[in-house]
Amino acid sequence: MKKPNEKKQILKSMLNGIGLSILTFYAIEFIQRLALPQTIAYPEIPLVVLGSLVLLILYLFFRALTNSNLIASGLLFFLSISLAIASRIKYSFRAEPLYPHELRFATEISFLIEMMGWPAAILILLTIVLGTIGIILFYRKKIKPKKKKRASKQFRRIRVLTLIVTLLSLISIGRFNQLGNPIRKLYRMHMSNPHQRSMTVYFENGLIAGFLNHLNAPPMETPVNYSKENIQEIVEKYQAVAEEWNADLEETLANVNVLFVMNESFADPMNLEGIDANKDPLPYFRSLADATLSGQVLSSTYGGGTDANEFMALTGFSMEPLAAHYTTPYEQLDERTEHYPNLLHKLKALDYQATAIHPYDPTFFNRETVYQQMKFDQFLHEETMEHQEKASEDHLYISDASVYKEAFSVLNEIDKPDFIHMVTMQNHTPYDTKYTDIEYEVTGTGNEEEASGYFTDLESSDEALQALIDQIDNHPEPILLLFWGDHLPGLYSEQVRIKNPAHKLQETPFLLYSNTEDLKSEYDWISPMYFSVLINEYLQLEISPYEALLKELHKNLPAFEKGMYYNKETETFDPSRDDLNQEVTDRLDEYTMIL
């Protein structure tokens, strides 16, 4: 029979765990809501209970492992609050919460420092160091000197059993998205919109529910009516469409060099309501856009999502049908990348030389591996680039101008036609430490110091683009340039984000330019997944059944993301697939089934 003090100890542990779990749950949600509109309510009571239960299991695991209420409480509270703060910080930059797979960024110290800036990084480091020292001193003075009586065998058995049960429970929680998972079933009974945009899932259901909902799972749910017979029917349908297109082709322009420029955080800030500045940072881009084919890109997210947009542009795969937690495809889908159709396969079959240029760490977003799988012939990065000049002495990143010079070095070296894919870094955050001489006075962003630096970056990009066009026009070989911005910077305040509709926060410009043909025409919205459609049309290339499906989908639905579907008839964005007409729905269902 247990000793009375052991009974009290067990009861005390349980009561402490329950109270702390509930307190921690609300502390997490309070931190989350510091960045949210006041209209966002706290999760419903069933979700509070489930979230607190998850935290209680974690607490009991620490309690059984350490045999200390205090240490278990400290670990639970520290880890939970750290997660909430990290998610809050990410939201301030990207307007989206922290996803489970992004925990690996904890090892990317240099990148985190660049993202946050040195003052914030030093503050966090000091907090961690001082907190650790405080915990050690407290442990030595208040806990370690106390000598405890040897626990009874039954108490030790209970402790071991608790450790085993909670460990198995945590493993089950870690497999949240596996079919038949009991924790998932309980959550899905009470969650609101579990298949909607990630922010909706997190904010309506709480950080814990959102975090669990985004744990590793299959990339997408099996489409309705998915079968070998239906897939074959779709293939045959679009085989006929492809054959019709291919039969009408004239001369294929397989000698044209193709330049892809995905420009980091290149967006028009003047498109946002409430933003004003003493001068325009993009005068040349505007004049060029008026003179050639240009329009708006619907980026995958606000404030980030670079590799998602790049992935879509190169493969024609949309992120919309994928599970909400798939946000970094180069890392989460890396083992499948070599099997995906991509623009390189077609151009390399036409004897193109494929080069990727990214003036940063080659391992970031797993690019080094992915580019090899996509069959790029070479990858030039910060360690191998010849041109490494920066836009200013204090700038952190290699300039756009240097990237373009590098591209022309490749063009001039190789006799074959070139496909050169460039992903710039100049306009990446942070913005407040790059320039000492700033001429911009920007208002309305809620972050004027960062904004003035960003406007100066844009001005430098605009000048580099003008120099690039001059080089293209003077080059003896035909060149086709596709230039677009990957996403808006994450510097705008919550007030700006509330004032502007969601699609405005994901709107970036694009243009298609040729040094041999006049491409002037007005274009509306486009998703990056359709860029290959533009290239195929311009170069008059034969298309596959998959590309024929892309072409038809593009006619019906030129731009879409989760929660945003461009309606060509009303020229507005519908919030759901359910709002689409039958023809558009059929094309999108076919596309989803093929993925």
pLDDT tens-place string over residues 258-288: 999 999 999 999 999 999 999 999 999 999 9
Same domain for 259 and 366, yes or no, is yes
* pLDDT (0 to 100) of residue 463: 98
The amino acid occupying position 92 is S
Kindly state the average pLDDT of the residues 143-166.
Answer: 76
CB–CB of 325/101 below 8 Å? Answer: yes
* Residue 569 counted as domain residue: yes
Residues 6+ away with beta carbon under 8 Å from 278:
439, 440, 441, 442
CATH number of the CATH domain containing 304: 3.40.720.10
Q: What pLDDT sits at residue 494?
A: 83
Assess if residue 122 is contained within a domain. yes
Is residue 124's pLDDT more than 80? no
Calculate mean pLDDT across residues 20-42: 81
- Say yes or no: 205 and 278 in one domain: no
Task: Indicate the range of 176-185, 232-241, 573-582 predicted with least confidence.
Answer: 176-185
Percent of the chain beyond pLDDT 90? 56
Whole-number Å distance between alpha carbons of 359 and 381: 5
pLDDT-derived band at 537 (thresholds 50, 70, 90) equals very high
Q: Which domain holds residue 363?
A: 249-383+401-421+450-594
Do 295 and 190 belong to one domain? no
Distance, C-alpha 34 to centroid of its chain: 22
Q: Is residue 437 part of a domain?
A: no
Distance of alpha carbon 56 from alpha carbon 22, whole angstroms: 9
pLDDT, mean over the chain: 87
Q: Is the pLDDT of residue 188 over 90?
A: no
Read off the pLDDT of each residue in 55-66 and give the average, rounded to a whole number: 92
Say yes or no: 290 and 379 in one domain.
yes
Report the pLDDT averaged over residues 295-306: 91
Cα separation, 1 vs 365, whole angstroms: 57
d(CA 139, CA 283): 62
Number of helical (H) and strand (E) elements in the chain, helices listed first: 21, 13
207 — phi, psi (to 5°)? -60, -45
| Mean predicted confidence (pLDDT) in 432-437 | 91
At 564 the three-state DSSP class reads: strand
Place of tokens 């023809």: 583
Question: Is the domain of 415 the same as that of 544?
Answer: yes
Tell me the C-alpha distance between 280 and 440, whole Å: 9
Number of domains in the chain: 2
Does residue 1 have a pLDDT over 50? no
Statement to judge: residues 135 and 266 lie in one domain? no
Residue 319 CB partners (closer than 8 Å, separation 6+): 300, 308, 311, 312, 326, 327, 329, 561, 562
Which tokens go with 457? Answer: 């970056």
**Which tokens sit at 313?**
């542009």
Q: Residue 221 falls within a domain, yes or no? A: no
Confidence of residue 121 (pLDDT cuts 50, 70, 90): low
Q: What is the pLDDT of residue 438?
A: 93
Does the pLDDT at position 143 exceed 60? Answer: no
Task: Report the pLDDT value the prediction gives residue 147, as an integer from 0 to 100.
Answer: 55
Cβ burial 180-199 (10 Å sphere, 16+ → b, else e): ebebbeebeebbeebeebbb
- More confident site: 138 or 549: 549
**% pLDDT > 70, the chain:** 88
What's the pLDDT tens digit per position in 203-238?
Answer: 788 889 888 888 876 778 888 889 999 999 999 999
- How far does Cα 128 stand from its chain's mean position? 27
Tell whether 201 is covered by a domain.
Answer: yes
- Inside any domain, residue 92: yes
Q: How many angstroms separate the CA atoms of 190 and 201, rounded? A: 12
206 and 288 inside one domain: no
For residue 140, is pLDDT > 70? no
Q: At what angle do helices 109-116 and 118-138 cross, to 10 degrees?
A: 120
Residue 6 burial (C-beta neighbours within 10 Å; 0-12, 13-18, 19+): middle
Over residues 307-325, the pLDDT tens digits come to: 899 999 999 999 999 877 7
Taking alpha carbons only, the member of 216, 192, 27 closest to residue 104 is 216
- The pLDDT assigned to 333 comes to 76
412 plus 514 within the same structural domain: yes
- Does residue 388 sit within a domain? no
The whole-model pTM stands at: 0.80
Residue 2 is predicted with a pLDDT of 45
Q: What's residue 98's pLDDT?
A: 80
Split at pLDDT 50, 70, 90, the class of 120 is low
Q: Is the dihedral of CA 496, 500, 505, 511 positive or negative?
A: negative
Cα(520)–Cα(291) distance, integer angstroms: 5
| Other residues' Cβ atoms within 10 Å of the Cβ of residue 65 | 16
On whether both 519 and 574 belong to a single domain, the answer is yes
Q: Which of 161, 191, 213 is the last residue of a domain?
A: 213
Average confidence (pLDDT) over 503-529: 93
Query: CA-CA distance, 386 to 360, in Å (whole number)?
Result: 13
* DSSP-assigned letter for residue 275: -
The mean per-residue pLDDT over the stretch 370-396 comes to 94
* Residues in Cβ contact with 15 at an 8 Å cutoff, skipping those fewer than 6 apart: none
The whole-number pLDDT of residue 584 equals: 94
Backbone phi, psi, residue 514, to 5° = -130, 145
In degrees and rounded to multiples of 5, residue 522 shows phi and psi of -90, 135
- Examine the pLDDT at 331 and tell me if it is beyond 90: no
Q: What is the mean pLDDT of residues 177-197?
A: 81
Cis peptide before 281 (omega within 30 of 0): no
* 442-497 residue pLDDT tens: 999 999 999 999 999 999 999 999 999 999 999 999 999 999 999 999 899 888 98
Give which of 132, 35, 40, 23 is closest to 85, Cα–Cα: 35
- Name the residue among 315, 297, 232 with its Cα closest to residue 547: 315
Give yes or no: residues 193 and 283 share one domain: no
Verify that 73 and 133 share a domain, yes or no.
Answer: yes
Please, are residues 403 and 357 in contact by the beta-carbon 8 Å criterion? yes
When pLDDT is cut at 50, 70 and 90, the band that residue 141 belongs to is low
Domain identity same for 202 and 282 = no
On the question of pLDDT at 145 being above 60, the answer is: no
Walk across the sheet containing 353-358 and list its strands: 378-381, 353-358, 418-423, 257-263, 479-485, 507-514, 293-298, 522-526
**What does the pLDDT look like over 61-108, one tens digit per residue?**
999 998 888 888 888 988 898 888 888 877 776 667 787 877 766 666
C-beta separation of 509 from 270 below 8 A: no
Distance CA 286, CA 67 (A): 66
Contacts with 184 (C-beta within 8 Å, 6 or more apart), sequence order: 176, 177, 178, 212
Q: Is residue 392 part of a domain?
A: no
